[in-house]
């Protein structure tokens, strides 16, 4: 049946809690309300207020207590409610959550999942539409997962909860209501594996999260220009599946990295560098990047100018073909 990403995430949390009583879910308004986006809907009703509960508005405390709970054998899944609210917890995530396993020489693992609804496109106010992935991808010790379709949202969240390493799980909030025909539960490719969502020959679009759908729409529109675009969905930013990206670029000869975050020092720079290192002799044009502008996230009425869309992707493809 048609399943939204929100439903897939909710089912993944439900199934993980059903399978393992060490899994606890908490954050701001995730209990009785079921979360701002209803991702935790009815979990408290099903599992009780000791396993799904509300917290004070204190993100540093949310992650800090998760670290302690994980050290004592629990598997906390915490919600940051909105991307911009993650910053008060940044020190806990980067200084402690990411470092404890290395600091203890592997004797202490922290199986914590930090769920972050991220990105724009929903007409929200300041601090509700940001793309913080590059802050975390540059922090060793974290796994960074960024699903773009409902099936991956379910399967990757289940795998993230089972992981012995801490996972930052980036949920593209503008795609919460996107649907996919699924029969849950579902297994997809594991964490650390990219997938070719659409094969092509003209150029490779490398993307993740909310831009997967945008790139697939761009690939459909490109057919009117006679272009056959391949779309690679990274799915996981850390660890990064460089092999799948390089294999695709070797076939097409051109690469464009598309993400919602700003271009300057965005995650696309890492992808572009790896393609340059490993596929240099296959490239017929420089690796191009398509992303948001290098400004603070604008007011809601202006966000459609700020965010990458089909036209900007196709403009970049045309630029690549002109080399």
- The SS3 call for residue 182 is coil
Q: What range defines the domain where residue 260 resides?
A: 195-321
Specify whether 119 is located in the same domain as 253: no
Q: Active-site residue among 96, 127, 128, 259?
A: 128
Q: Does residue 128 carry a catalytic annotation?
A: yes
Domain closes at, from 129, 149, 181: 181
Torsion of CA 156, 160, 161, 167, to 10 degrees: -140
Per the structure, the count of domains in the chain is 2
For residues 287 and 232, state if they share a domain: yes
Residue range 9-53, pLDDT digits in tens: 999 999 999 999 999 999 999 999 999 999 999 999 999 999 999
Are residue 176 and residue 199 in the same domain, yes or no? Answer: no
- Does one domain contain both 155 and 212? no
Q: What strands lie across the sheet with 143-145, from one edge to the other?
A: 52-54, 23-27, 75-79, 113-118, 167-172, 143-145, 236-238
Residues 311, 258, 280, 196, Cα dihedral to 10°:
-100
Residue at 277 is within a domain? yes
Q: 11 and 50: one domain? A: yes
For 92-130, what is each residue's pLDDT tens digit? 999 999 999 999 999 999 999 999 999 999 999 999 999
For 238, the 3-state DSSP assignment is strand
Query: What mean pLDDT comes out for the span 251-277?
Result: 98
Q: What are the backbone dihedrals phi and psi of residue 44, each rounded to the nearest 5 degrees, phi first?
A: -65, -40
Domain holding 156: CATH number? 3.40.50.970
Q: How confident is the model at residue 1 (pLDDT cuts 50, 70, 90)?
A: confident
Kindly report the number of other CB atoms within 10 A of residue 132's CB atom. 19
The verdict on residue 223 lying in a domain is yes
CB 252 within 8 A of CB 230: yes
């Amino acid at each position: 049946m048609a399943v939204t990403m929100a439903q897939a995430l909710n089912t993944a949390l439900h199934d993980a809690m059903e399978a393992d009583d060490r899994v606890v879910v908490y954050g701001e308004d995730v209990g009785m309300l079921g979360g701002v986006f209803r991702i935790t809907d009815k979990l408290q009703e099903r599992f009780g207020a000791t396993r799904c509960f509300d917290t004070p508005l204190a993100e540093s405390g949310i992650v800090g207590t998760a670290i302690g709970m994980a050290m004592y054998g629990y598997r906390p899944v915490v919600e940051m409610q909105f991307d911009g609210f993650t910053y008060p917890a940044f020190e806990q995530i980067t200084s402690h959550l990411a470092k404890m396993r290395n600091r203890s020489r592997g004797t202490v693992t922290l199986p914590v999942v930090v769920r972050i609804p991220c990105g724009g496109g929903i007409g929200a106010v300041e601090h509700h539409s940001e793309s913080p992935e590059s802050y975390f991808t540059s922090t060793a010790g974290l796994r960074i997962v960024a699903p773009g379709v409902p099936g991956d949202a379910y399967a990757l969240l289940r795998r993230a909860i089972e992981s012995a390493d801490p996972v930052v799980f980036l949920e593209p909030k503008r795609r919460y209501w996107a649907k996919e025909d699924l029969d849950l539960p579902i297994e997809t490719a594991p964490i650390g594996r990219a997938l070719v969502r659409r094969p092509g020959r003209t150029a490779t679009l490398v993307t993740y999260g909310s831009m997967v759908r945008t790139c697939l729409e761009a690939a459909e529109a490109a057919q009117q220009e006679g272009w056959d675009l391949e779309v690679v969905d990274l799915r996981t930013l850390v660890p990064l599946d460089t092999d799948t990206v390089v294999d695709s670029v070797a076939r097409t000869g051109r690469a464009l990295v598309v993400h919602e975050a700003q271009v300057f020092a965005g995650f696309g720079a890492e992808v572009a560098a790896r393609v340059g290192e490993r596929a240099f002799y296959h490239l017929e044009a420089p690796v191009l990047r398509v992303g948001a502008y290098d400004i603070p996230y604008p007011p809601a009425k202006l966000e459609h100018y700020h965010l990458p869309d089909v036209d900007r992707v196709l403009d970049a493809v045309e630029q690549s073909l002109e080399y």
